[in-house]
Amino acid sequence: MAVFDTPQAAFGALRPVCVQLTRVQTVENVRQLQAHLAGVSGAALQELQEYVLFPLRFALRLPGPKQERLVQSLVQCISSVLAATCVKKQELLQELFSELCTCLAPPPSSGKAAPLSEELKLAVIQALHTLMHSAYGDVILSLYQPSTLPLLGFAVSLLLTLAEQEKAKQIKISALECLQVLVLQCDCREHRHLDEDESQQCGDLFASFLPGISIALSRVIAGDVKQGHKTTVSAIRLFYLIVGLVMADKQLARIPKSKEKLSVEHSRISELMIHRGPDWTKSTAEKLSLLLHKVVESSSIHPHWKVRLELVELVHHLLRNCSQSLVDSFSHLLKALVGLVNDENSEVRSRCNTVLQEISEQRIVAQNRALADVLSENLHSLATALPRLMNSQDDMGKVSTLSLLLGYLKLLGPKINIVLNSMSHLQRLSKALVQVLELDVTDVKIVEARRSGPPGPLQQGVQKGRCQKKYFRFFTEEKVFQLLQQVCRVLGYYGNLYLLVDHFMGLYSESSLYRKQAAMILNELVTGAAGVGVDFLQEREVPLNVDDLKGSITSILDEYMDQVNWYLVTSNDTEESSPEQSVQHLGLAAHAGGTSSSVLLLSPEPPVTTRTINSNIWQICIQLEGVGCFAAVLGKEFRLLLLSALYPVLEKAGDRTLLISETALGTLADICEACAYDSVQCLINENSDYLVNGISLNLRHLAYQARASQVLDTMLRHSDASLLPLVEDVIQDVLSALDQSYNSQASTFLRVLQSVMTALVQWFGMPSAEEHQQRQTDKGHSRALSQGQQEVTMTSQEVERFFLDYVSQKQIAEGDLPDLEEEEADDAPLAEPEPNTDTEGEAPMPSHAQLARDVMERCIHLLSDGSLRVRLKVLDVLELCVTVLHPHGNHLLPMAHRVWPALVTRLINDDPLAVLRAFKVLCTLAQTCGDFLRQRFSKDVLPKLTSSLLSQAPVSARAGPVYSHTLAFKLQLAVLQGLGSLCEKLDMVFSCT
């Protein structure tokens, strides 16, 4: 279609369709007009604007019901004309405005909203939006006169109803954007901006609409999140623009005290106008304060970051323009801003910090008070309500509350000591933190998780900084705990460290209910004081004094490692918990003093509940984490504190409770990194003299023996063979202590002996299959040489030595073992002529083998102990001893001869669990003592095993699937799997009869 550039040509093309539409109002005629409009230029259409709009407006004004499709087509066509032209007449603007609003209005006879389609509503809203933008120059101001107040109120009411009640997101957003244009606060640059006088006039006019608009918008803002973030953002923007216009300090300052009479035709309109005097301002500010509180509460926890960002803009706009009029709302606005300082979104945080800095610099503060005073008051109120809020809010509410608390502390910055120096403020804040951080100690899994025996391969490294996940009573969200950590760290960064440490140490000592929480807070305070992991807005005024930090850490460590706080009951197992219990009671007695101490020692022990044990475990773990934090803070300076801290941490690394031992290992790794040790092994080896001395001293006291054994256990598990010469004397002390108290402490010392032997096996190793085969080959080769299969000249002494060795080996195999002293006496004269003999029996015994023989000596005596637990541990240790003594047959065989009777008893007449362990020991012995065991095994053990298998065979043949889970099945399976290889190692020959 050709383009009509002149009004004459355009008129000729448009006249027929306009006449047709005037005669017959149908959708098809509207579409024809729309199609012809596409070929008309903007300049030509501007000349014919009223002519083209006439049939469209005529069709809209016709009385009677109309089809929605027709109305929608008419409105869309009007919108097209307005988009291409400008409205230059005030009457036309007002008439079009009224006619479009009427399309949304219900019929006069009906009080209910018209059942209009969503498409029609959206078309009318967009047409109103286009009309407001098409007004040329000052024509737009004709709508904002007292005489048009009813018309504006009608439009505002319709648009607010759509924004609040419609379900379609696009309609809600379009209605809010149209309202923003209607109140002359449009964001686009083309829209006319008002000067000061015009803004004053519009402010007077919009004051009549402020209550309705603000209330409706607050409901939209606090609405369901399903409405979408764009709707909420638009509502917040419109809220602060209209409030900022009507309540602007500059405008209110120009308002006369008395209301001027307006020269209007109707007195009713005069009554609708609001006089923004002092009384009205005060009353409106009070009501707006309630609405702002509602807006802040809902928007600050909105899941979408753009809503929270728009809330920052609301605070900034209102504080910049209405700081005097909205004085009562300052705390709400500041609360919103402070709560978003720690927002998870970087844009929100950045904008929030910028606005806060601007507020602080311009000193836009309510009632001319200092910002610190307002923050202090709000902080005091929040700390008072914090426990209640933590009880009543969900996790999202807790995040919002704690973000607010953290924001107040960050804003106070160096002025935080103003709050801390007030005892009431400090007490409220500290009690709030202690109550919020209360742990959930009902999980029985913490108590049940026990560390098994020493692992096979020693741990080569430990993960550093292993903080155990904690479960709290009042929250589950990890973000809540992170905010609490930041609160404590900011307190430590800005606050007086001595004051804070002294106060929370007082809470630590005051009650066991506060002890765990106070310890967590102390750990974070020290971390924050060192500037580690602290998010702050401004640097502190006084730099950190390392001596002050070290003094605070020393006092905390002394309290943590006091016997009453360090050695707590962590198990219901009397065998494991008795040393700690005795130490704890000793500590209580020492604290009580006087004659009452003896009463405490003699009084029956109260029953220990699982909850108490769980609480004790967490307390120890938190204190261990604190030691790691302190090491990280001090760095190499922490080496000076190792003399008091390392030994207790090693004790806990050997604890049977899994949670404690893992936490202690993480602490050791933190200490290594802080003190510049390459590994835990280097840490132990370089401090071994101090540690060995501590172990030796504690082994002399019955109550401390278990703790000393734990330290030695940890040292052995995390070191190498270079440690052995340093701890040999200590291991001998352990053996001596076992000899003296094997009735009561056998299980404790057997654990450390198991660690010793496990370490020896790891360090010196078991011979590989190739080495074992080579040793057997060399042995066979030696026998061949002895029997004269090769032509070798032998001396008389060598022949005599051969026969003496043969007789000795035969006697050992038959059980006729001479006394070692007599054997040494007989051998001494023969050894003199051959000082350089290469016989294995004459070689000096290495220290680790000597140690293994000494341990095996104790195992022989304890193998018949009445406690099944002790017997099982003895069998485990015995197997390790045999492995270490494997290369030293001349020493192993006599020990095997001595252990054989007790081992046979375990194999044929003991608990099935002990039989299973004893069979493992037998298989290990067979690898090294084949000749020695052959006759004894076939005579003492094999008949019993075969008869047991035969008797068990019918039972297992008839058994169901559950049988595979029984101990009898496991024992039967182990014997069947090992018996063949055992007979092969013993070189046994069976004849078929």
39, pLDDT greater than 70:
yes
261, pLDDT greater than 60:
no
Give the pLDDT band of residue 625 (cuts 50, 70, 90): very high
821, pLDDT greater than 70:
no
697, pLDDT greater than 50:
yes
Q: What's residue 77's pLDDT?
A: 94
Share of the chain above pLDDT 70, in %: 80
403, pLDDT greater than 70:
yes
Phi and psi dihedrals of 496, rounded to 5? -75, 110
Enumerate residues 6+ apart whose C-beta is below 8 A from 195.
none
445, pLDDT greater than 60:
yes
Share of the chain above pLDDT 90, in %: 34
Q: What's residue 130's pLDDT?
A: 93
Quick count: other Cβ atoms within 10 Å of Cβ 427? 13
For the chain, the maximum distance between any two Cα atoms, rounded to a whole number of angstroms, is 149
Looking at every residue in the chain, the average pLDDT score rounds to 80
User: What pairs with residue 472 in β-bridges?
Assistant: 439
pLDDT 10s digits, 126-166: 999 999 999 888 888 888 888 888 899 999 999 999 999 99
Q: What's residue 586's pLDDT?
A: 42
Nearest to 513 by CA among 592, 586, 618: 618
- Of the listed ranges 467-471, 795-799, 810-814, 983-987, the one predicted with least confidence: 810-814
189, pLDDT greater than 90:
no
Buried b (16+ CB within 10 A) or exposed e, 264-299: eeeeebeeebbebeeeebeebbeebbebbbbbbbbb
- Of the listed ranges 18-22, 512-516, 599-603, 892-896, the one predicted with least confidence: 599-603
243, pLDDT greater than 60:
yes
pLDDT 10s digits, 733-745: 888 888 887 777 7
Give the pLDDT band of residue 210 (cuts 50, 70, 90): very high
Q: What's residue 799's pLDDT?
A: 67
CA 39 to chain centroid? 66
CA 779 to chain centroid? 62
Give the pLDDT band of residue 900 (cuts 50, 70, 90): confident
Enumerate residues 6+ apart whose C-beta is below 8 A from 147.
264, 265, 269
- The more confidently predicted of residues 537 and 55 is 55
Tokens read off for 319: 């504080």
Give the pLDDT band of residue 574 (cuts 50, 70, 90): low
DSSP assignment letter at 63: S
Angle at 979 between CA 945 and CA 854, to 5 degrees: 85
Q: What's the average model confidence in pLDDT over 287-316?
A: 93
pLDDT 10s digits, 345-393: 999 988 988 887 777 665 544 433 456 677 777 777 888 888 788 777 8
- The more confidently predicted of residues 218 and 721 is 218
754, pLDDT greater than 50:
yes
Q: What's residue 174's pLDDT?
A: 94
- Of the listed ranges 54-68, 639-653, 754-768, the one predicted with least confidence: 754-768
pTM recorded for the entire structure: 0.71
Q: What's residue 73's pLDDT?
A: 94
Tokens read off for 778: 């060399």
296, pLDDT greater than 80:
yes
The amino acid sitting at 884 is V
